[in-house]
Amino acid sequence: MPTSPDVFIKHPEVPVTSIDAISSDTDISRSDSRVSPPDRRPIPPPPPRTRPTSSSSTNAVAQSDVEPCTMVIRPWIDPLVDDDGHDPRSRYVEQFWLGVLGPTATWILRRLVAGLERHPDGYQLDLALTAKTMGLSYTAGRSSPFAKALQRCTMFGLAHQTSDGLAVRRRIPPVAHRHLRRMPPVVQSAHDDWERSSITIDSLSRAHRIALAMLESGDDLAVIEHQLVAVGIDDLTAAEVADNAARL
């Protein structure tokens, strides 16, 4: 049997590519399909914080020392109370007003009235210095003990605010009954005895002679009433004589 000649079948040529080439083409296509993010400008850093230097704080303290907080104190003109009222340093104020005002407001009121005796038309009061001399703290505003005591003087009608300070009573009116009702019974009873007591001519003359002798010997007006009571003069007579001596 004759052998058939070798038949060669020709297949179409298929391009052969390497694996490296395929992977490189794939990477290129993927990189082309990515969307690049938009350009963002860098955010500038915040400015550095600076602390006040010691010189600036020193200047602020020095300025506060140069410009103290002050107010003007003027007399509160009230003819009715000025004629029949009590001296703020009297025993009446100590016995009956002290429990209403409180000790701090009572002492401040005495200081203010003493300043009006030296300056009848009014004077300028250094608040910080006055508070310090009385052993009190003072800060700007209404929260310090000194400021609260001034508010109590205004609250109970012994001073009222003006455009640049306070107008202060030089004489203190009798304690109102609504305030006395809050006091202990012993204080209420003592106030009733004070109002019912009367002054006799003999006791008034004796008290005047003793008061004149005290003044001639150099005693202070502020202690005349207490000394009269100490030698046996009744409270009402001693208060009347001491008030007359202060008006001389």
pLDDT of residue 44: 65
Count of the separate structural domains present in the chain: 2
Per the domain annotation, does 97 fall within a domain?
yes
The answer to whether residue 14 sits within a structural domain is: no
15 inside domain: no
Taking the C-alpha atoms of residue 234 and residue 238, their distance in angstroms, rounded to an integer, is 6
**Residue 42 included in any domain:** no
Domain assignment present for residue 8? The answer is no
Sequence-distant (≥ 6) Cβ neighbours of residue 243 within 8 angstroms: 86, 87, 90
Q: For residues 159 and 163, give the distance between their C-alpha atoms in angstroms, rounded to a whole number.
A: 13
Same domain, 120 and 161: yes
pLDDT of 52 reads 54
pLDDT given at position 47: 65
DSSP class per residue in the chain: -PPPPPPPPPPPP-----HHHHHHHHHHHHHHHSPPPPP-PPPPPPPPP-PPPHHHHHHHHHHHHHS--EEEEEEE--HHHHHH-B-TTSHHIIIIIHHHH-HHHHHHHHHHHHHHHH-TT-EEEEHHHHHHHTT----SSS-SHHHHHHHHHHHTTSEEE-SSEEEEESSBPPPPHHHHTTS-HHHHHHHHHHHH----HHHHHHHHHHHHHHHHTT--GGGHHHHHHHTT--HHHHHHHHHHHHH-
Structural domain span for residue 203:
197-248
Of the residues 128, 152, 181, the one at which a domain ends: 181
Residue 207 and residue 172 in one domain: no
Residue 95: half-sphere exposure toward Cβ, Cα within 13 Å? 19
Instruction: Let me know whether 76 and 101 are in one domain.
Output: yes
Q: What tokens does 245 get? A: 């001596």
Instruction: Say what the pTM is.
Output: 0.61
pLDDT tens for each residue of the chain, 248 residues long: 444 444 444 545 545 444 444 444 444 444 444 555 555 666 666 666 666 555 544 454 444 443 448 899 999 999 888 888 898 988 899 999 999 999 999 999 999 999 999 999 999 999 999 999 999 888 877 888 899 999 999 999 999 999 999 999 999 999 999 999 999 999 999 999 988 887 778 888 888 888 888 888 888 877 888 888 888 888 888 888 888 787 76
Residue 160 in any domain: the answer is yes
Return the pLDDT at 207.
Answer: 85
Residue 124 shares a structural domain with residue 79: yes
Q: Is residue 188 one of the residues assigned to a domain?
A: no
Residue at 137 is within a domain: yes
In a shared domain, residues 154 and 211: no
114/161 same-domain check: yes
Using the 3D structure, point to which of 181, 206, 224 is the last residue of a domain: 181
